[in-house]
Chain A
Amino acid sequence: MVKSILFENVLPKVFIGSPPEGGPSDVWGCNLLFEKGCSVLIESASGRGKSSFCSFVYGLRNDYVGNICLMNDAGEMLPHTSEVSCELRRRGIAMMFQELRLFPELTAVENVMLKNSITSLFDENDVRGMLCELGLEARLDVPCAILSFGQLQRVAFVRMLAQPADFYLLDEPVSHLDEENSIKMGRMLRERQCKDGAGVIVTSIGRRLAYDFDTVLRL
């Protein structure tokens, strides 16, 4: 559905006239092309727009200047409509949000199955299996309201995988996780990337997902 993501002189409006401290960026104000199959790490310090980058690509926000074009397999630009956004979020781009966006009333399994209800990618046993693989076997049916942030990050990661995608977008996915979980998540993501031929874009504030990235960009 999405073959490539083109950035043309994109700059968050908040940076117009007051650029962030820390020197020039490889992304803001530049022309970039993210293609399916690539794996990119975007690193930066706080306040340089990592979450803004993800929100712009995912269509959650539009407070930027320049152009972000999502191109389909035929090389055509996908329009920015509500219907296309929903379709993209089911089949085109999978995102793990920095703030996770899990529902505290639902259990770990239910949170994943809620997403799975519109993609029908897995059955419940698959979901339980993936959560167990990340060390959550004792927390499967516990409401997310009482899980730690690190546990929630793992639930959110599995939920991100509960859809087929051309691009996987992860916003600081291991900020609260240890190396062991980071390695497990990196391995699961690699398997998925290989299976879907997808692109992977990960942001990091310092702690990196254990992944062999093709490119590292400074934001």
Chain B
Amino acid sequence: MKLLFKLLKYNINIWQIIGFVIANLLGGIIVLTGLRAYRDIDSLLSVENGLISGGYISISKPISTFTLVGNMMGIQPVFTTEEIKELEQHPSVDRVAAFTAANFQIRGGFKLGDLNISTDLFMESVPDDFLDVDFDDSDIWRADVKGDFIPVVIPRKYLNIYNYGYAATKGLPQLGEGLTSSFPITMVLKGNGVSRTYSSKIVGFTDRLNTILVPDGFLKEANLFFTGEQGGAPSRLIIATDSNGDEAELLEFIDSKNYAVEGDIDNLRLQSFVHGVLYVVIGVGVLISFLAFFLLMVSILLLIEKNREKFINLHSLGFTHSEMAIPYISLVVVADILVWVVAATVVHIAYPAVFAFASVISPDFELSSPFVVWVAMLLFALLFIILHRYTIRRELRRIVTPVSRV
């Protein structure tokens, strides 16, 4: 085989090979970076307390004139068990929970200097695992109807509205989160002929849920205590989306059901957009890689054509097309393996530095394993080798097949 290599090395254009290596290296790095970034950006967007508070959507039945008429007739726009089940079974949905609303009267108040503020309030609850609040003391998020304290979580935007929309114009002091949490609040819960007074405190702020929240167990117990009934069917639901699901498809599904959406819909759109951008980036990388692949293939085909007479003569000496293909197949195997191994190594080493911004945005964020890069490298290298090998052998077989001269 040494002599065959020596014979066929003539006419190899080293610049064409270098061109392939550079172009395919570029394409390979883009593809492998894109593939790894796809997973990392996905998890960055879904990380709790991260850039975006994950894929959660609150939905309700739409409010219309008919709803109002229905309300007057005692018909509430609620979700049926079948509708909830249908949502749970959607492939892009991780889990679904109902908002529990307080069905009794609530009056809350607090003192701010000489100012006594008192108002009717509403409160709702969701299961604890849908909350985006980390309590310093996990025992604080507990309450008992027979007790005297109710912890409350309010949307962070309520505080902002007070600070920037109300206090600033009324000459009232602006409040930080820490100070707000120390305000004593008094709550009076009434219903079923019973009235109880509780002390209360804001124990956290939520960016995800646009309502005043109390512990789920407490509210269910309170509904029973102050109304004598369990709550009815839910009118609002909260959906945790599956990070591997198709957000766009979920939004379409919700649209098709005419449910009203609130909450993190922008986050979902952002996720869809980022996914779209990554698809394009990976697509461009794949395109560059395949252009490079064709560059090498065309170079080899030209080389075979230039050496056409040599192959015919070698075949006339008894060399099979498989034996004659060995030198060029060896060349492309080395080039393909070299390119993809170098591309994967570059991505392996450089990627954490490039993605360092993620830990600034979200300190809890951790890079995904580089496993996907090496698996993709292996698959691409194998695919390129198989296609190159097939093309070279097919071309040589074509060249040496005897052709009638007539």
Asked if A and B are interacting partners, one says yes
Spell out A's residues near B (CB within 8 Å). Answer: 13-14, 58-63, 82-83, 86-90, 95, 97, 101, 103, 105-106, 110, 113-115, 117-119, 159, 163
Say yes or no: A101-B3 contact (C-beta < 8 A), given A13-B406, A63-B404, A63-B406. no
| A113 CA to B4 CA, complexed, in Å | 10
Say yes or no: A106-B6 contact (C-beta < 8 A), given A14-B406, A62-B402, A118-B323. yes
Q: Give the tally of cross-chain contacts (CB within 8 A).
A: 65
Say yes or no: A82-B405 contact (C-beta < 8 A), given A101-B313, A105-B7, A117-B4. no
User: Which residue of A82, A90, A113 contacts B401 across the interface (Cβ within 8 Å)?
Assistant: A82
CB distance from B264 to the nearest CB of A (A): 65
Q: Is the CB of B405 within 8 A of A117?
A: no
Nearest chain A residue, comparing its CB with the CB of B10: A105
Query: Total interface residues on B, using CB and 8 Å?
Result: 23
Residues of A within 8 A of B310 (CB): 103
Residues of B within 8 A of A106 (CB): 3, 6-7
Residues of B within 8 A of A59 (CB): 402
Say yes or no: A58-B316 contact (C-beta < 8 A), given A63-B404, A103-B310, A114-B4. yes
Nearest chain A residue, comparing its CB with the CB of B313: A101
Q: Is the CB of B318 within 8 A of A118?
A: yes
Tell me if B319 is interfacial: C-beta within 8 Å of chain A: yes
Residues of B within 8 A of A110 (CB): 3, 6
Give the dominant DSSP class at A's interface.
Answer: helix
Say yes or no: A114-B3 contact (C-beta < 8 A), given A62-B402, A103-B313. yes
| A62 CA to B267 CA, complexed, in Å | 71
Residues of B within 8 A of A86 (CB): 315, 318-320
| A23 CA to B74 CA, complexed, in Å | 117
| A90 CA to B404 CA, complexed, in Å | 23
| A103 CA to B4 CA, complexed, in Å | 11
Q: Is the CB of B3 within 8 A of A117?
A: yes
CB distance from B306 to the nearest CB of A (A): 13
Residues of A within 8 A of B75 (CB): none
Tell me if B400 is interfacial: C-beta within 8 Å of chain A: yes
Residues of A within 8 A of B220 (CB): none
Nearest chain B residue, comparing its CB with the CB of A162: B317
Enumerate 9 A-B pairs (CB-CB under 8 Å) in ascending A order.
A60-B316, A61-B402, A61-B404, A82-B320, A82-B401, A87-B318, A95-B316, A101-B313, A101-B316
Add 12 more A-B contacts to A60-B316, A101-B317 (CB < 8 A): A13-B405, A14-B406, A61-B402, A82-B321, A89-B318, A97-B316, A101-B313, A103-B313, A105-B7, A114-B3, A118-B318, A119-B318
Residues of A within 8 A of B323 (CB): 118
